[in-house]
């Protein structure tokens, strides 16, 4: 009954149009003051200790790095490099857009930033070359979702933070720790490359079927020149992932390094930004960081309420008594997250559901890293369908198209993403192979 009251109140507040972060906080405070004897001091203490987490610092740094790169000409050079490599294939510019999104995702950590940075350049070029606007918008809106799967990923950091304080026991009764940010980053590499390849294959097939334009094949000299100009941006991928794998620095330190590096190459190497532009980028990053961290703060309180009412433990008992297998449970998780993606944005979904699903998944023998990648892929799908798909709204602004028309445009790629979601769900090794190979599991 308490569970129904909590979630009923939360859903009611969100249906009024209230921001998710405020709805979370009001739900917790209302329930604690009217239905429990928890002292207000405990709430205040949990509020501060819950966000006193070193890994949370990675979020504003990755946002800052992404904004420097978005405004600093890195995206334009990556598109030029991708175009020289595969622009002569069917749908060349579309394929270059997918490849550029994958490369930019590996240095930004944000899907909307990837859509803006790549879409603003690729979309006008595709229309000018004779591609239908719907085709270009579908490619960019869905490929931009790679921003949260290919590491570094802000959603993965949020998952690690959300499950960090949870206590979970495997089927043998042994305690299992939550996935670390480093493990999740490495686990996202293979699925990220695989999804990029599948989106590219869908793009190629539709371009071949409709005989869309191809670009002249670039010479080796042009390829080398484009690579040389984009090398400073590509090096950031090596610095972040190489630094984490070798132990040179933690994921949070990698985020700080990437922010400083992005600033240096945008202002002093590429010189597409001036020092006068820096305060504007800092302010924009601070605004976005504050929004996410405010959601994190209220979600910490919500997680505290879940634990206080022993809701995860009751879910474990219910799953055990119902005879659920891990296959059926993951199907339930996918349906739950896809439905949630219709009404909420990724950060809120992960922060609310991860602390509840994590102990139940572990009790069924599901690896926390596998669950993290599964949730991330679900968030990708949610970004690309209405009514609150953030990528759709960003792509709508870039392509100057209505949401309804854009929804129709993305369906072939969205179907590809759903097929990929099934693969990631039921083939755990796609997520676990690389971190296990690197000795991280």
> Count of H helices and E strands in the chain?
21, 2
Question: Cα separation of 152 and 171, whole Å?
Answer: 31
Q: Is the peptide bond before 138 cis (omega within 30 degrees of 0)?
A: no
Question: Cα separation of 423 and 195, whole Å?
Answer: 10
Q: How much is the pTM?
A: 0.86
pLDDT at 400 over 90: no
Q: In degrees rounded to 5, what are phi and psi of residue 168? A: -135, 140
Residue with the two structure tokens 């933070």: 161
Question: Cα separation of 294 and 381, whole Å?
Answer: 24
Those residues whose C-beta lies under 8 Å from the C-beta of residue 158, and which sit 6 or more positions away, are 59, 292, 296, 347, 350, 351
Residue with the two structure tokens 């550029």: 100
pLDDT at 1 over 70: no
Listing DSSP states for 149-164 in one string gives TSSS-HHHHHHHHHHT
Quick one: residue 389, left, alpha or beta (phi over 0 = left, psi -120 to 50 = alpha)? beta
Q: What average pLDDT does this structure show over 321-349?
A: 84
Among the ranges given (90-94, 116-120, 275-279, 304-308), the one the predictor scored with the smallest mean pLDDT: 304-308
The per-residue pLDDT for 50 is 66
Q: Which two tokens stand for residue 325?
A: 């297998």
Q: Which two tokens stand for residue 57?
A: 């610092």
Whether the Cβ atoms of residue 64 and residue 58 lie closer than 8 Å to each other: no
pLDDT tens digits, one per residue of 70-93? 777 788 888 888 888 888 888 888
For residue 9, how far is the Cα from the chain centroid? 28
Residue with the two structure tokens 């999104």: 101
Domain residue limits, the chain: 18-47+54-437
Those residues whose C-beta lies under 8 Å from the C-beta of residue 221, and which sit 6 or more positions away, are none
Closest alpha carbon to 130 in 96, 101, 87, 91? 91
The per-residue pLDDT for 239 is 84
Those residues whose C-beta lies under 8 Å from the C-beta of residue 106, and which sit 6 or more positions away, are 150, 151, 152, 192, 236, 237, 241
The per-residue pLDDT for 54 is 74
Question: Cα separation of 100 and 83, whole Å?
Answer: 9
pLDDT at 358 over 80: yes
Whether the Cβ atoms of residue 278 and residue 263 lie closer than 8 Å to each other: yes
Quick one: residue 361, left, alpha or beta (phi over 0 = left, psi -120 to 50 = alpha)? alpha
Question: Cα separation of 23 and 30, whole Å?
Answer: 10
Whether the Cβ atoms of residue 262 and residue 72 lie closer than 8 Å to each other: yes
Question: Cα separation of 153 and 109, whole Å?
Answer: 4
Residue with the two structure tokens 């790679």: 146
H-assigned helices in 265-310 = 278-308
pLDDT band at 274, cuts 50/70/90? confident
pLDDT tens digits, one per residue of 202-246? 999 999 998 888 888 888 888 899 888 888 888 888 888 888 888
């Amino acid at each position: 009954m308490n569970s129904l009251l909590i979630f009923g109140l939360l859903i009611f507040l969100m249906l009024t149009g209230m921001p998710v972060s405020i709805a979370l906080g009001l739900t917790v405070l209302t329930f604690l003051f009217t239905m429990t004897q928890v002292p207000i001091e405990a709430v205040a203490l949990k509020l501060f200790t819950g966000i006193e987490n070193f890994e949370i610092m990675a979020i504003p740094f990755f946002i800052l790095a992404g904004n420097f790169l978005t405004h600093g000409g890195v995206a334009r050079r990556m598109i030029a490099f991708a175009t020289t490599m595969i622009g002569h294939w069917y749908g060349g510019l579309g394929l270059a857009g997918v490849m550029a999104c994958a490369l930019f995702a590996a240095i930004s950590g944000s899907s909307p930033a990837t859509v803006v940075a790549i879409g603003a350049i690729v979309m006008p070029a595709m229309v000018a070359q004779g591609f239908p606007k719907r085709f270009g918008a579908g490619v960019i809106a869905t490929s931009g979702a790679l921003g949260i799967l290919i590491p570094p990923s802000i959603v993965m950091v949020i998952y690690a933070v959300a499950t960090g304080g949870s206590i979970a026991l495997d089927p043998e009764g042994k305690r299992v720790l939550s996935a670390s940010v480093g493990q999740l980053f490495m686990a996202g590499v293979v699925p990220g490359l695989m999804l990029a390849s599948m989106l590219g294959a869908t793009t190629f097939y539709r371009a071949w079927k409709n005989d869309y334009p191809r670009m002249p094949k670039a010479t080796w000299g042009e390829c080398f020149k484009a690579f040389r100009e984009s090398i400073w941006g590509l090096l950031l991928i090596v610095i972040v992932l190489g630094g984490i794998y070798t132990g040179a620095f933690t994921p949070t330190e990698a985020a700080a390094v990437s922010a400083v590096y992005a600033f240096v190459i945008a202002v002093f190497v590429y010189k597409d930004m001036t020092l006068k532009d820096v305060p504007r980028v800092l302010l924009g990053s601070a605004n976005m960081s504050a929004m996410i961290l405010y959601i994190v703060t209220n979600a910490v309180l919500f997680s505290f309420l879940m634990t206080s009412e022993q809701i995860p433990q009751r879910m474990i008992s219910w799953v055990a008594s119902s005879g659920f297998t891990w296959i059926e449970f993951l199907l339930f998780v996918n349906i739950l997250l896809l439905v949630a993606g219709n009404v909420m944005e990724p950060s809120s979904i992960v922060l609310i559901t991860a602390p509840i699903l994590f102990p139940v998944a572990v009790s069924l023998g599901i690896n926390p890293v596998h669950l993290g990648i599964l949730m991330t892929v679900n968030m990708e799908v949610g970004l690309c369908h209405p009514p609150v798909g953030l990528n759709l709204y960003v792509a709508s602004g870039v392509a100057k198209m209505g949401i309804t028309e854009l929804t129709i445009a993305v369906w072939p790629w969205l179907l590809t993403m759903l097929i990929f979601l099934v693969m990631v769900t039921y083939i755990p090794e796609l997520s676990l192979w690389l971190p296990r190979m690197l000795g991280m599991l």
